[in-house]
Structure 1
C-alpha cells in the first residue's frame, strides 16, 4: 500500500487534511513530531522522524494507505532555512538511515499551499502560533514554502501541489492522485539529489 506525505508550511492545514483522510478514507496517519520549540536537539528530532518512517512501513501492511503528517526531512529543511551548521550532521544521520533502509522517500509528497491571508487567519486561531511564533519564525516558514516550491519543480513525478482550501476537497484530490506500485523508496540517487539541492540552496542563501 502507498505511503504518502502531506507537507507544507506551518498553519497550511496539514493535520486537518490528515484527519479527513483518516476518518473518511481509512488512512493510517503517522502524527507529526517535528520539534519547533527551542531547546530540542535537532539530531534527536531527525531520529524521531526516522522512527516515523518505520511506523509508516509497519502500518502499510494492514491499512489501505499511510499518511505522514509532515515531512520526515523537516529538521534538515529547517536547518537549511536557518543557514544552520547542523545541516551537514543531519544529512549524515539521514544518509546512514537510508543505507540501512531505516528511512526512505514516500511514494508521493503532497505539498499544500494557501494564500497568505488564509495563512494569517489560521495562525491567529492557532495557540501554538500565538505562543511560539515570532518574526524570525515567520521568515523561516516563508523559506520552508520556498523550499517545497523548488523541490516540486525538481521532482514533479514524486510531488503533487494542492491548494488547501477545504479539507474535504483536498482529501478527495489526494485520494484521486494516490500513487500506484511499484514503489521506489530507497533510491540513493534521489537522496543525493535532495542533499545536493539543500547544499546548493544553502550556499546561495549565505
Structure 2
C-alpha cells in the first residue's frame, strides 16, 4: 500500500486532487499542518517541525487500513521552503537538519514511497486562486516565489533516486488522477528509502551548497 506525497505551489490543486484520490481508492489524506493544527502564539521553536512528525505518524497508522495514503504536503517542507528565502527570519538549516536527522534515525519521520509534484504556470495559479473563494490562501503572493526553488529541490531529490519524484502538469483534476494512476506502481519498485540517511544527508549538502543569491 503506497504512501505518496502531493506537492506543488499554492492553488495548483493538491488538496482537490487528494480528495479525488480518496474517492477513487480506499485512501486517506493527511492534511497539511495548517489544516490539522491551530498555531499557538507565541509559537515554540520546534512546534511546526513536531507537527510534521505527527503527520508522519498518522500516515503510518492509516497505512494499516487504507489502500493508499496521501500526504497533502511534504513533511520535510520546512527544509526547502525556508531555503527558498535563504532562511531569513526562520530557523537556520543546522537546526532543521539536526531535528529531522534524529527523527529519521528514530524512524519517527521519513520519505514517502513517491512524490507527485503538480505544476502549472503562474497566471493559471492566480486564476485558480480567484476562482476559489473557499480558501483565503494567506501568503499566496509570497509563496509564488517558492515555485522555482521548489522545482530545483525536487529535481535534486530525483537525481538521488530517479523516479522518486514524478512531475505532473496540473491541467485539471481528472488529468491529475489519470497520470497518478499511471505512476503509482512505479513507486513500489524503487529501492527502500523511507528512512534513508544517505538521501537526507545528500539533500542537506545540496541545500548548503546551493544557497540562493537573493530572497
Q: TM-score range by the shorter chain?
A: 0.7 to 0.9
Task: Give the conservation status (yes or no) of the 8 Å contact 2:6–2:118.
Answer: yes
Cα gap change, 1:34 to 1:76, in 2 (>3 Å): farther
Determine the C-alpha separation between the residues in 2 that align with 1:41 and 1:166: 39
Matched, 1:74 2:77: yes
Paired residue total? 202
Bigger proportion of residues as helix: 1
Per the alignment, in what secondary structure is the counterpart of residue 58 of structure 1? helix
Determine the C-alpha separation between the residues in 2 that align with 1:78 and 1:34: 15
**Which residue in the other structure is 2:170 paired with?**
164
Structure 2 alignment gaps of length 5 or more: none
Per-residue deviation, 1:109: 0.6
Per-residue deviation, 1:65: 1.4
Give per-residue Cα distances to partners, 1:108-144, cap 9 Å, x unaligned.
1111101222111122235423xx3365443245533
The partner residue of 1:184 within 190, 193, 196 is: 193
Q: TM-score, length-normalised on structure 1?
A: 0.86
Q: TM-score, length-normalised on structure 2?
A: 0.83
Determine the C-alpha separation between the residues in 2 that align with 1:39 and 1:148: 32
Per the alignment, in what secondary structure is the counterpart of residue 62 of structure 1? coil
Cα gap change, 1:136 to 1:28, in 2 (>3 Å): closer
Task: Give the conservation status (yes or no) of the 8 Å contact 2:10–2:143.
Answer: no
**Which residue in the other structure is 2:98 paired with?**
92
**1:1-150 alignment to 2 at 5 Å?**
1-34=1-34, 40-41=43-44, 43-84=46-87, 85-126=91-132, 127-129=135-137, 132-133=138-139, 135-150=141-156
Per the alignment, in what secondary structure is the counterpart of residue 128 of structure 1? coil
Matched, 1:205 2:208: no
- RMSD of the TM alignment (CA)? 2.5
Per-residue deviation, 1:26: 2.0
Structure 1 alignment gaps of length 5 or more: none
